[in-house]
Amino acid sequence: MFGLFRIAYKLLVNDRSKFAALLVGISFAVLLMVMMTSLFAGLMNRASATIINTGARIWVMDRAVNTVSNNVPLPDYVLDAVRGMQGVKYAVPIYLGSGLVKLASGDYQAVSIVGLDDTSLIGRPALAEGRINDIYADDAFIVVQDAEYAKLGAPHVGAQFEINDHRAVIVGVGKVASGGLFGIPTLYTTYSRATQDLPSTRFTMAFVLVEPKSGANVRDIEHQVAALGYLALTREEFIDRTANFYKYQTGVGTNILLMTAISFLVGLSISGQTFYTFILENLDKFGALKAMGAKSRELIAMILFQASFTGLTGYGLGVGACTLLIALAKLRLPDYAAMVTFANLAVAFVMVLIITAIASYVGVRRVIHIEPFEIFRG
C-alpha cells in the first residue's frame, strides 16, 4: 500500500499546474472562512470586553438588558436586597456611562466611563503606571492603555483635561484583557465621583456585581434575584447573551454566516472541478494499475490519499496566510478586532474535510467503473 501511495503522490504533483490550482482553491476558501469567523470571534470578544475585564462572577441587571453597553439603571434598593440574599458573599455597584472629553488641543473625544465601588474597587484594571490608591484623589481618573489610548493624546500620570465640564487628572494608566468594540477610549474612576460629577439619570447603578460564597450558591442567587423581578447571569451566561444579541438581532451573525458559506462553495467548486479534471487526465494510469492487479479499494485509497494530502496542505497554507494577514492588519490598525481561536480553526477544518470528501467521491465514482480493456483498446 505504501508503494501505491508513492505512485498517487507522484501522479498528484507531476502536473504542477493542476496541483497548484487545487491548493489555491482550498487555501483561498480556508483563508476566507477563517478570516470571517475570526472577525466574528474578535467582535464578540470586544462586545463583551467590560464583562471580561471586570471579572465579576454574577451580574444583576434589568430583564431588558441584552448587552453590557445598553444597561438599564437599577434602583438603589436592588443593591440592598441582593446583599441580603442567602449565598451572597458580597455585592457592589458599578457605573457604566459615557462622557465627552475636551483635550488640550481643543478637540472633543467621546469616552466610556466605568465607576468602581469606592470601598472595594472591584473590577479595577492592572496598572502599568501610577498607584491604585490615587484614584481617591480629587478629580482622579485611570485611563486604559488599549488600541484607543492614542485618541486621548496618549496621556500619562499627571495629564489633565476636561470631561463633561469637570476637571479630570490622570493618576494611573491601566491595562485590560480586551479592548472595547466601538473605538472609544475607557476611563475608570470611583462610583461616587462618576455619579456625582457626571450628568446622569435618576438611577445611576448600571449593574450589581455579586460574588457568591461558593459555586453551589450561584443558582440559588439567580432564583432569588428572579423573584425580586430582575435578572442574574454568570459571567459566561452574560457573554453568551451578548453574543446571541449580535448574532440574531443585529444581522452581524447572518452576514458572517453568508460569507462563510460563500467561501465554502468557492472552495468546493474550484477543488471539485479541478480534482475531477485531474482524475479524467489520469484515468489511463488508474486503468493500468487495475489491469496489473490493483483492487478497487486500493484505488479508492489512492484517491482518498490524494484528496486528503491536498486538503490538509491547502488548510495549512490558508490558516498560515490568514494568520499573517491578521498580524499585519493589527500592526497597521491596532483596533482591528479579528482573532483566531481554536473554534474557528475547527470549523474551517471540518469544512475542508467536507470539501475533500465530496471531491473524493466524484473521483472514486469515475475510477471504480473503469475497465482495463477500455484503456488498452483506446
246 within some domain: no
Expressed as residue numbers, the domain containing 291 is: 2-46+251-377
DSSP alpha helix (H) spans, 60-141:
76-83
Is the same domain home to 296 and 150? no
Q: What is the pTM of this model?
A: 0.73
Q: Are residues 147 and 256 in the same domain?
A: no
- Is residue 311 within 8 Å of 353, Cβ to Cβ? yes
Instruction: Output DSSP code: residue 125.
Output: P
Q: Please check whether residues 144 and 191 belong to one and the same domain.
A: yes
Let me know if residue 293 belongs to a domain: yes
Give pairs for 3-7: CB < 8 Å, separation 24+.
4/289, 4/294, 4/298, 4/301, 4/302, 5/301, 5/302, 5/305, 7/289, 7/302
The pLDDT assigned to 199 comes to 65
In this structure, what DSSP letter does residue 352 have?
Answer: H
Residues 217 and 95 in one domain: yes
Residue 30: inside a domain, yes or no?
Answer: yes
Does 115 lie in the same domain as 81? Answer: yes
Answer yes or no: do 260 and 225 share one domain: no
Q: Residues of 57-95 as b/e, b for ≥16 C-beta within 10 angstroms? A: ebbbbbeebebbbebebbeeebbebbeebeebeebbbbb
Q: What is the pLDDT of residue 348?
A: 85
Identify whether residues 184 and 269 lie together within a single domain.
no
The C-alpha atoms of residue 131 and residue 284 are separated, in whole angstroms, by 77
| Average pLDDT estimate for 331-350 | 84
Nine-digit cell string for 57: 462572577
What are the DSSP E strand ranges found in 56-206?
58-61, 88-102, 108-116, 126-130, 140-144, 160-163, 166-175, 186-190
Of 170-179, 186-195, 273-282, least confident by mean pLDDT is 273-282
Split into its structural domains, the chain has a count of: 2
Is residue 140 in a domain? yes
- Beta bridge partners of residue 114, listed in sequence order: 96, 188
Q: Do the domain assignments include residue 330?
A: yes
Nearest by Cα to 211 from 303, 107, 88: 88
Residues 159 and 225 in one domain: yes
φ/ψ of 185, rounded to 5, equals -65, 160
Residue 377 scores a pLDDT above 70: no
Asked if residue 285 and residue 219 are part of one domain, the reply reads no
260, 185: one domain: no
> pLDDT tens across 233-292, in order?
999 999 999 888 888 877 777 777 787 788 777 777 777 777 777 777 777 777 777 777
180-201: string of b/e by CB count within 10 Å (b at 16+)?
bbeebbbbbbbbebbbebbeee
First and final C-alpha spacing in the chain:
28
pLDDT digits (tens, 9 = 90+) for 117-139: 999 999 899 998 999 999 999 88
What per-residue confidence (pLDDT) applies to 59? 93
The confidence score (pLDDT) of residue 116 equals 93
Which band of pLDDT confidence, cut at 50, 70 and 90, is reported for residue 336?
confident
